[in-house]
């Protein structure tokens, strides 16, 4: 479980094919690895990945074909900057919202422009996900917990404050027509499931 509050960014160092799947190595000189052990989870651009090998400043993960098909990872290249968050602890401040790290699908950035000191962004999400998006609700984009300003059909409107833009990959990689990982609000997903059973 994660909060969507990005702890650091990292660089994708390598992509290796292993038996039909993929192994990634991600490096970060800013993420504290002192409490990370093999088997722990680190969300990388919002994707919950299991650490299978590590050094003092990097970790390796195996990725299934399902994850490749459902996320932006299929477009990643060595040198890309990724948003990183270690799994939360019971003592962690809950600064964002409940994030599972299980990406639902990919959205497309349609508008990105300055709005005073913030960045205004509109993201088109798949039609199947729009029922989970609500004005002033929560959504996770590339692992970042964000509040929706407004939802118009399948368009989610967001404002990114300067701090968030500076400590994530938004200013470096996000652009119009670019794809981003989307995870809808966990509570909304379970409420919808409960309603379908009643």
pLDDT along the chain (198 residues), means of 10: 92 94 96 94 96 96 94 96 90 73 96 96 96 94 96 96 94 94 88 77
Within the chain, all domains assigned CATH 2.40.30.20 are found at: 8-86, 105-197
What is the pTM for the complete model shown? 0.90
pLDDT for the residue 188: 82
How far apart CA 160 and CA 147 sit, in angstroms, is: 9
The contacts of residue 158 (CB under 8 Å, 6+ apart) are 120, 121, 122, 123, 139, 141, 146, 147, 148, 149
| Residues in contact with 138: Cβ distance below 8 Å, sequence separation at least 6, in sequence order | 4, 96, 97, 145, 146, 147, 148, 185
| pLDDT of 30 | 93
Closest by CA position to 125, among listed 51, 179, 60: 179
Task: Say how far apart CA 23 and CA 18 lie, in whole Å.
Answer: 7
* Residue of 124, 182, 120, 180 lying closest to 154 (CA atoms): 124
- The Cα 14–Cα 79 span in angstroms is 8
Does the domain formed by 105-197 have CATH 2.40.30.20?
Answer: yes
CATH assignment of 8-86, given 2.60.120.10, 2.40.30.20, 3.40.50.720, 2.40.30.30? 2.40.30.20
Rounded distance between C-alpha atoms, residue 136 and residue 126, angstroms: 19
């Amino acid at each position: 479980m994660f909060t969507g509050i990005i702890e650091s960014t990292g660089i994708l160092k390598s992509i290796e094919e292993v038996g039909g799947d993929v192994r990634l190595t991600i490096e970060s000189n800013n993420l504290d690895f002192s409490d990370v052990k093999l088997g722990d989870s680190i969300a990388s651009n919002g994707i919950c990945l299991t650490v299978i090998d590590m050094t003092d400043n990097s970790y390796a993960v195996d990725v299934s074909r399902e994850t490749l098909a459902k996320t932006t990872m299929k477009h990643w290249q060595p040198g890309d900057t990724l948003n990183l968050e270690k799994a939360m602890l019971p003592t962690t401040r809950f600064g964002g919202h409940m994030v599972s790290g299980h990406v639902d699908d990919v959205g497309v950035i349609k508008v990105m422009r300055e709005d005073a000191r913030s960045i205004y962004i509109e993201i088109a999400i798949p039609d199947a996900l729009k029922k989970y998006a609500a004005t002033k609700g929560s959504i996770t984009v590339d692992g970042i917990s964000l509040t929706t300003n407004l939802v118009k059909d399948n368009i989610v409107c967001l404002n990114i404050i300067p701090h968030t833009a500076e400590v994530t990959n938004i200013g470096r990689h996000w652009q119009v027509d670019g794809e981003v990982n989307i995870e809808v609000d966990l509570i909304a997903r379970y409420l919808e499931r409960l309603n379908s059973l009643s």
